[in-house]
Amino acid sequence: MPTVAADPGPFTFDLDSTALIVIDMQRDFLLPGGFGESLGNDVAQLRRTIAPLAALLAAWRAAGLPVIHTREGHLPDLSDCPPAKLKRGSMIGQPGTFGKILIRGEYGHDIVDELQPLPGEPVVDKPGKGAFYATNLDELLRETKTLIVTGVTTEVCVHTTVREANDRGYECLVLSDCVGSYFPEFQSVGLRMIAAQGGIFGWVSESSALLKEITR
């Protein structure tokens, strides 16, 4: 079984029960001129994940391993958006550069060109930060024990999903160069929290270490 160097210790897993999850690599969060940038965020902090993630995706697909994508978003009538979320994020559903912000079916809600899902790859649409709540992700993972976790943002949707997965007994390996935060401070502390106390939520490594194992 492959083993990769990781924090807090070597991480061993079985490729037959491992899936790659790519969280919320959506245009609304990543494209210059989009929703994320309009909030004053530096999208370059997220965009640096695209190249390593595209390389990993290519190798992962070439090895015939499963990929799951997620998107955060809401129905056009906002009936799945809690009032407390809508009030705080009052731009949700409003017209933006790439269509109505965070609304399913809009251009900005979809995944960036470089990481577009292939036919047959599941795309989980989620109304919250966590990918397990109010979705069928747990059902999709019936054969899965290990999750390779990538996407954005590290301390919000990636962290929430890793916490949910960990409580459900999945082992999570988070790839530091394939997850991103608008805030460098939260990128580092977010990764540190995952590996703290003996790996309380999982393990942290880099895509280069994993690539070596799957391209053997």
Residues that bind another protein (CB under 8 A): 9, 39, 82-85, 87-89, 127-130, 133-134, 155-156, 159-160, 163-164, 166-169, 171, 183, 185-186, 189, 192-193, 196-201
Instruction: Check if 28 is active-site.
Output: no
* Residue 157 near residue 129 (C-beta atoms within 8 A): yes
Rounded to the nearest 10°, the torsion over CA 185, 186, 192, 193 is: 140
Residue 25 or 211: which CB sits closer to another protein?
25
Instruction: Check if 81 is active-site.
Output: no
Residue 39 or 63: which CB sits closer to another protein?
39
Residue 47 or 129: which CB sits closer to another protein?
129
Instruction: Check if 178 is active-site.
Output: no
* Amino acid identity for residue 68 in this structure: I
* Residue 203 near residue 173 (C-beta atoms within 8 A): yes
Residue 11 or 57: which CB sits closer to another protein?
11
In angstroms, give the least distance from the CB of 174 to another protein. 14
Closest by Cα among 29, 72, 71 to 50: 29
What are the residue ranges of helices labelled H in the chain?
27-30, 35-38, 44-47, 50-62, 83-88, 137-140, 159-167, 184-199, 207-214
Catalytic residue among 81, 100, 126, 172: 126
In angstroms, give the least distance from the CB of 127 to another protein. 7
In angstroms, give the least distance from the CB of 204 to another protein. 14
In angstroms, give the least distance from the CB of 25 to another protein. 18
Helix (H, G, I), strand (E, B) or coil at 205: strand
Instruction: Give every CB contact of residue 35 below 8 A, 6+ residues apart in sequence.
Output: 28, 29, 91, 96, 97, 98, 101, 102, 108
In angstroms, give the least distance from the CB of 180 to another protein. 14
Residue 1 or 84: which CB sits closer to another protein?
84
Strand extents, DSSP E, 78-189: 95-96, 99-100, 123-126, 146-152, 171-180
Catalytic residue among 24, 28, 110, 125: 24
Catalytic residue among 81, 157, 172, 178: 157
Any idea which residues carry the catalytic annotation? 24, 126, 157
